[in-house]
Structure 1
Amino acid sequence: MQLSNENYQNFKPLLFSLGYRMLGSVADAEDIVQETFLRAFQIKDQKVENKKAYLCKMMTNRCLDLLKSARKIREQYIGPWNPEPLFLGEAEADDPSEVLLQKEGLSFAYLRMMEHLSPHERAVLLLREVFDFSYAEIANIIEKNEDNCRKIFSRSKQKISAVENESLHYEKNKSVVSRFIQAFQMQNTADLLELVSDKVTLYSDGGGKVKAAVRPILSRPKVFAFLFGVGKKLQKTIILKSKMPMVSSHSLII
């Protein structure tokens, strides 16, 4: 298989997008993309008719291997594990790679729900729904028959149906985040009650480096108490800002 620099530029965004969706980690996705291309450039004698499918197969298989080992690590992880946010610059929104990354399947809730899928369920769902591979192509990529792939896809869809249609309008979400930051800084509980759902759940992830809530926090009073408590402890250093756009056009508060 002969890969050109043009192939590298064309397929790199696709492979990163696949890897990030499967792993929820920017660094891991970038590492595997580079590893995939290094291995692909070393393949000289093998004839490959569909380079896109072949590279996606290499990428998917490496992600599957990493997910299997990552599950063991995350079982020992203290507290909830959250996907790594991916920030997309507004000025680059017309770039093909940015457009690909902003396609369906990048909401934070969607990526969290992926944690409830097995590695193969995750791969089949993404390859079919986000990247439009046929079942025959998917069967070749993950080395299962087409009927199995159809069943895996159906099972995966059922598991994530609760968040499949979740989306927030960019400008509306931006306004809500700005109001939330202002209300939080003023500790205005009345305004926060208007902005935060009574079914809110707070997931705190310290990355294994700083203290965080071990379990998800439920209900508005408990969430507000936690946030206000963190704010008081970090009163001199805490920075609140919203970065837009990011994964799924949702905002993130830091």
Structure 2
Amino acid sequence: MADHAVFERHRRRLWGIAYRITSSVSDTEDVLQDAWLRWQALPDDRALEPRAYLTTVVSRICYDRLTSARARRETYVGPWLPEPLVAAREPAPGPEEHAALDESVGFALLTVLERLTPAERTAFVLHDVFEVPFPEVAEAVGRTPDAVRALASRARRRVRDERPRQTVDRAEHRRTVEAFLAAVTAGDLDTLVATLDPDVVWRSDGGGAVGVARVPVLGSEKVARFAGGLVRGLDPAGTRVEVLDVNGAPGIVFADPASARAAVLAFTVHAGRITGIDCVVNPDKLRHLGLLPV
């Protein structure tokens, strides 16, 4: 039996790979459980390089899952957004306030990755994010090294061309999100519009379980009114509203136990204005966060 301690040593890296390929916390947990069972059944002398072996196993499982998931996502009700990662609390002020945002888990990048083929996405995540050599990437997706090199190159071009521009200044991003929240909660439409880029895009993921816009909402006036509707009817005394890290950047978490409504908002900010808002309200995608009582 392979050593449990060795698997645990690599768990954080494996989790990061799986999430970036699948954009799903639940799938990531399932992938790691599957990989652990395979590792547990492996004779001690079979994996001379555990990190490389486990990376290949996890990537291959993710690649297979992503391939089978594409058909389901094409029939998904409304926009399909990632299952959000929410930090327990905002990091303390310090030098990191001015550090670049972690784009490798940001909604802006993950949304672009959704438009890639499973092979392109896997190749890009493994090579460009985790610096896995092409021969190992090839083993994970069942292609030749030259083929996965081409896959990663195509993916890289699409990411470069389609990823929206955004600030790398964490403090600016947070100030903009806080201004948006203050305007929404105060019902100040004019100030709310001022926080938004004229061409802002709002995407809602309700998965058919929650009544939200099934197509993107475009433009600052429409988005401002839509955002105001999100908080309308919430219990002011019992609703939790916080600015927390969502996928590596300041976002907003709403949770109202009285109405059993919860939402996680991720923001794209550029030049001091919000250019994109991704709002996840699908209960299945928020369950892992424990925002509402079971």
Superposition TM-score tier, normalisation by shorter sequence: 0.7 to 0.9
**Residue in 2 that maps onto 1:49:** 48
**Residue in 2 that maps onto 1:99:** none
Aligned residues of 1:167 and 1:248 also touching (Cα < 8 A)? no
**Residue in 2 that maps onto 1:97:** none
**Residue in 1 that maps onto 2:184:** 184
**Residue in 1 that maps onto 2:284:** none
Deviation at 1:194, TM superposition (A): 2.2
Query: Which structure has more RCO (C-alpha within 8 Å, separation ≥ 6)?
Result: 1
Amino acid aligned to 1:236:
D
**Residue in 2 that maps onto 1:227:** 227
Task: Measure, in 1, the Cα distance between the counterparts of 2:90 and 2:61.
Answer: 32
Change (3 A) 1:176 1:240: farther
Deviation at 1:120, TM superposition (A): 0.6
Amino acid aligned to 1:195:
T
- Mean CA deviation greater in 125-134 or 155-164: 155-164
Q: TM-score, normalised by structure 1?
A: 0.87
Aligned residues of 2:86 and 2:246 also touching (Cα < 8 A)? yes
Task: Measure, in 2, the Cα distance between the counterparts of 1:231 and 1:185.
Answer: 7
Alignment of 1:1-254 (within 5 A): 3-44=2-43, 47-89=46-88, 104-161=103-160, 162-163=162-163, 166-232=166-232, 234-236=233-235, 239=239, 241-254=241-254
Change (3 A) 1:136 1:69: closer
- The structure in which a higher percent of residues are helix is 1
Question: How much identity, in percent, do the aligned residues show?
Answer: 28
Aligned residues of 2:189 and 2:225 also touching (Cα < 8 A)? no
Aligned residues of 2:244 and 2:253 also touching (Cα < 8 A)? no
Task: Measure, in 1, the Cα distance between the counterparts of 2:7 and 2:179.
Answer: 43
Task: Measure, in 1, the Cα distance between the counterparts of 2:157 and 2:224.
Answer: 33
Secondary structure of 2:104's aligned partner: coil
Task: Measure, in 2, the Cα distance between the counterparts of 1:230 and 1:87.
Answer: 19
Aligned residues of 1:103 and 1:130 also touching (Cα < 8 A)? no
Task: Measure, in 1, the Cα distance between the counterparts of 2:56 and 2:24.
Answer: 19
Deviation at 1:218, TM superposition (A): 0.6
Q: Residues 155-208 of structure 1: CA distance to partner in whole angstroms, max 9, x if unpaired?
A: 001111132874543222222222111111222222122211112100011133
Q: Provide the aligned C-alpha RMSD in A.
A: 2.4
Secondary structure of 2:198's aligned partner: coil
Deviation at 1:91, TM superposition (A): 8.5
Q: Residues 110-134 of structure 1: CA distance to partner in whole angstroms, max 9, x if unpaired?
A: 0111110111101000111111111
Change (3 A) 1:194 1:218: same
Secondary structure of 1:209's aligned partner: coil
Amino acid aligned to 1:189:
L
- The structure in which a higher percent of residues are strand is 2
**Residue in 1 that maps onto 2:263:** none
Aligned residues of 1:23 and 1:29 also touching (Cα < 8 A)? yes
Task: Measure, in 1, the Cα distance between the counterparts of 2:213 and 2:150.
Answer: 37
Q: TM-score, normalised by structure 2?
A: 0.76
Aligned residues of 2:90 and 2:244 also touching (Cα < 8 A)? no
Change (3 A) 1:54 1:92: farther
Aligned residues: 244
Deviation at 1:236, TM superposition (A): 3.4
Structure 2 unaligned residues grouped into runs of 5+? 93-100, 255-294
Task: Measure, in 2, the Cα distance between the counterparts of 1:240 and 1:189.
Answer: 22
